[in-house]
Structure 1
Amino acid sequence: MKIKQYRTQFIKELSPFYDAYEAESFFYLILEEKHKLRQIDLALNHELTFEENDFVIWDELVRQLKKEVPIQYLLGKTNFYGLDFEVNENVLIPRPETEELVEWIINENSNPDKSKKIKILDIGTGSGCIAISLAKNLPNAAVFGIDVSKKAIETAKRNAVKNNVDVTFVLLDILETEELRCNFDIIVSNPPYVRNLEKEEIKKNVLDYEPHLALFVEDNDALIFYRKIASLAQKRLFEKGKLYFEINQYLGKEMIELLENMDFKNVELRKDIYDNDRMIKGNI
């Protein structure tokens, strides 16, 4: 069968579950990953065909997509801040909003003087996307990442090797940690922040397949991770050190109050590309 013909069939079969644009984007992601063919290749050669055994792979992927398994998990990879990352059921799929947080940190902390070293800690590192992106783009930084999940740490380590950066990853439960081992110039975290009451807003592909450990907090203590991390940061940020968070869009006001009440200075709340309160920063 010609690939162009199969594309039409693929999109139609997924139409009860996804809009045509999303289904088509899945088609080209799979085509490139499994066959090393890009959209432009198909546009230039309408006669390209699939072999009979190719349909075994495609049929299974379609079956999984109908169950709304995230395409990133099916392919085992995703792109974040221009880098490729392995992703699996043990780590969250990195979001575009988190790229904005990384961009903010890089823009504020780039220094042409490479001899001026800085230390960065990423708490709840997951796939390592924040830590690795910062290490790649801030060559004067020594970067550390911690996570409570052993399998997440293993994934992050593989991603560091894949992207040719040196990041130290440590298995650690931040809620059970009384004090960090050393001082840092920057502490950043994208901790669990979705309240159980917000589950109905979460898409099925996230709710059913991404790790709840990295997503949800109890309704009655939604800021538990922020309060703990800010408390640790008070003791272990260097003078003029910076604390960055990705936050729950509904809790921007509460986050400003939390940081100001803990004597962080120059507290700044920023919106993401969707105009939601999403990032906050405070200085020691």
Structure 2
Amino acid sequence: MLLKEIKNIFHAELDVIYGKEEVDSFFYLLIEHYFDLERFILAIQPELVIDKAQEIVIFKALSELKLEKPIQHIMGTAHFMDLDFMVNKHVLIPRPETEELVRWVLDDFKTATNALTILDMGTGSGCIPISLDKNLTDAKVLGLDISTDALKVAEENNRLLNADVKFLHADILSLEKETSTKELNQKFDIVISNPPYVRELEKAEMQSNVIDHEPSLALFVPDEDPLKFYSAVVNYAAEHLNENGCLYLEINQYLGEETKHLLLDSNFKTIELKKDMFGNDRMIKGIKK
């Protein structure tokens, strides 16, 4: 079958759901991922034909897209910080905002001469600590998560990307019970976290492909206690950061000031609330006094 005909079928089936530009993006991502074909291939070879086995693969992906399954889950990978991470239903798909958070850390510590100690709390796929490990020389990086399924994904990404992160099974909300372990009872130069922060009342704003296919455990918090994970992370960081150590958090865009007050109440200094590329309050940094 002609590849250009398949592209036309993609648009006929999916434009009403996603819009033309996003369907174009999906199609080119899939042919690159499965067939190693560049996005400009149809301009060069407009009569390119794919075989029956390739048709089966591409039409299966089309069927899954019609069910609003995330493209990253279909391909099994997500691009983040110039790396390809394995993802599945047990972990959040890495977002551009999270990449901005990681780049903030790297910008702050690009001239660091000492070997940094770093803890990522709520690690999911491991995209944050692995990216930091790959970009910071001699850093000692730990990641923790309550989900054993997520940790399996993180460990596999650690192996596939030749990183050297140590992952721990622990609950952010009860770390006082975990700090008898050597790894969690030490001091860190950096604590970073992208914990659950979407309130139940905000579900209506979210796309169904997120709600139906990504883990609720990593997304949602009760309306009456939306900062419960942040309180736990800030309290832990206040006790376990070195002097002048840095806490970095990805935050709910509607709760920037409330999150800032958590840091102020725990005696953090030089608190900076930062907007993401879309102009939303999305990140915060505090330095331990």
| Unaligned segments of structure 1, at least 5 residues | none
Q: Paired residue for 2:232?
A: 228
Distance 1:169 1:111 in 2: 26
Equivalent residues in 2 for 1:54-73, closer than 5 Å: 54-73=54-73
Equivalent residues in 2 for 1:45-84, closer than 5 Å: 45-84=45-84
Distance 1:255 1:173 in 2: 20
Q: Paired residue for 1:154?
A: 152
Distance 1:192 1:6 in 2: 39
- Could you give the per-residue CA deviations for residues 99-156 of structure 1, whole angstroms, max 9, x where no partner exists? 100010000012263xx11100000000011101111111131110000011111111
- Could you give the per-residue CA deviations for residues 50-106 of structure 1, whole angstroms, max 9, x where no partner exists? 112322222221111111000000100010011110000000000000110001000
Q: Paired residue for 2:93?
A: 93
What displacement does 1:13 show? 1.2
| Unaligned segments of structure 2, at least 5 residues | none
Paired residue secondary structure (1:46)? coil
Q: Paired residue for 2:270?
A: 266
Distance 1:232 1:174 in 2: 9
Distance 1:175 1:104 in 2: 26
What displacement does 1:254 show? 0.4
Are 2:214 and 1:210 equivalent residues in the alignment? yes
- Could you give the per-residue CA deviations for residues 191-212 of structure 1, whole angstroms, max 9, x where no partner exists? 0000001000111100111000
Q: Paired residue for 1:125?
A: 123
Q: Paired residue for 1:174?
A: 172
Equivalent residues in 2 for 1:251-262, closer than 5 Å: 251-262=255-266
What displacement does 1:49 show? 0.5
Give the stretch that moved more between structures: 34-43 or 160-169.
34-43
Distance 1:93 1:160 in 2: 16
TM-score by length of 2: 0.95
Distance 1:151 1:188 in 2: 21
Distance 1:90 1:112 in 2: 34
What displacement does 1:272 show? 0.3
Aligned partner of 2:201 among 180, 197, 200: 197
Q: Paired residue for 1:239?
A: 243
Give the aligned residue type for 1:4: K
Give the aligned residue type for 2:125: S
Give the stretch that moved more between structures: 52-61 or 222-231.
52-61
In structure 2, the CA distance between the partners of 1:62 and 1:132, relative to structure 1 (3 Å rule), is same
What displacement does 1:5 show? 2.1
Give the aligned residue type for 2:262: L
Give the aligned residue type for 1:81: M
Q: Paired residue for 2:108?
A: 108
Distance 2:54 2:98 in 1: 35
Q: Paired residue for 1:44?
A: 44
What displacement does 1:9 show? 1.7
Q: Paired residue for 1:250?
A: 254
**RMSD (Å), alpha carbons:** 1.1
Q: 4+ residue stretches of structure 1 with deviation over 4 A?
A: none
Equivalences, count: 282
Give the aligned residue type for 2:164: D
In structure 2, the CA distance between the partners of 1:112 and 1:224, relative to structure 1 (3 Å rule), is closer
Give the aligned residue type for 2:265: N
